[in-house]
Amino acid sequence: MTAIQPTKKETNYVVDPKRFNLWLAIIGSMMFFAALTSAYIVRKAAGNWNSFPIPEQFIYSTVIVILSSLTLHWAYISAKKDELYQVKVALFTTLILGLAFGYSQFLGWEVLVNNNLHFKGDDVAVSFFYSITAFHALHVFGGWIAIVRTLRKAFRLEVHKKSMRALSMCTTYWHFMGLLWIYLYLFLFLNR
């Protein structure tokens, strides 16, 4: 007598659950940073605000994040054309630029510290600046993980025109992080 094997239930989702979760995370991040920048504006209006120059390293960060979005778009286009070597090169370049972004952020914080601008309760403007940039850096860390995972898949030949989900999701998240940084930089620059 043979045992009856259960059949694998097919699920046809209208929306890919992983993409849906990614968009929920992006929306949640947008709400978090909207709340943080709103709190910044409200607290600045209350007075006792120390205006300070933003270190130039943060503009370098902005240029680097734009370049990294371009290289990730290069990876995406290459995958759609099945140019698998180009996908690997572009993803690796994006990872290096992403790490350079993080390093430039660190250098910017170092300039602040050298100018005696520390994260502390009595200097609210500086504390907000550190908080906003650090929370963004934490989100970028998640982007680094996504890029490394996608790069690993590319080396296993799992990223190509018939298998784009991992790269597509990585691209969506990284572009969001880049746009978010541009918004945050302009916000901080214009609201010093």
In a domain, 43, yes or no: no
If pLDDT is split at 50, 70 and 90, which confidence band does 12 have? low
Note the pLDDT of residue 3. Answer: 54
Number of domains present in the structure of the chain:
1
Residue 60 has pLDDT above 90, yes or no: yes
Distance CA 96, CA 102 (A): 10
Domain CATH number, residue 183:
1.20.120.80
| Of the ranges 37-51, 154-168, 170-184, the best mean pLDDT one | 170-184
In a domain, 126, yes or no: yes
Contact (Cβ atoms closer than 8 angstroms) between residue 91 and residue 152: no
Instruction: Count how many Cα atoms sit within 13 Å of the Cα of residue 56 in the half-sphere of its side chain.
Output: 0
Q: Mean per-residue pLDDT for 146-163? A: 93
Which pair of tokens denotes residue 33? 């940073």
Contact (Cβ atoms closer than 8 angstroms) between residue 140 and residue 102: yes
In a domain, 122, yes or no: yes
Distance CA 137, CA 61 (A): 11
Residue at token pair 């130039």: 56
Helices and strands per DSSP (H, E), number in the chain: 5, 0
- Give the pLDDT confidence of 127-150 residue by residue, as tens digits: 999 999 999 999 999 999 999 999
In a domain, 112, yes or no: yes
| 3-state class percentages of the chain: helix first, strand second, coil last, to nearest 5 | 75, 0, 25
Q: What residues make up the domain containing 89?
A: 56-190
In a domain, 63, yes or no: yes
Distance CA 105, CA 180 (A): 14
Length of the chain, in residues = 192
In a domain, 29, yes or no: no
pTM: 0.87
- Give the pLDDT confidence of 70-94 residue by residue, as tens digits: 999 999 999 999 999 999 999 999 9
> What percent of the chain stands above pLDDT 90?
79
In a domain, 48, yes or no: no
In a domain, 174, yes or no: yes
If pLDDT is split at 50, 70 and 90, which confidence band does 157 have? very high
Q: Is 5 exposed, middle or buried (0-12, 13-18, 19+ CB in 10 A)?
A: exposed
Q: Mean per-residue pLDDT for 25-42? A: 96
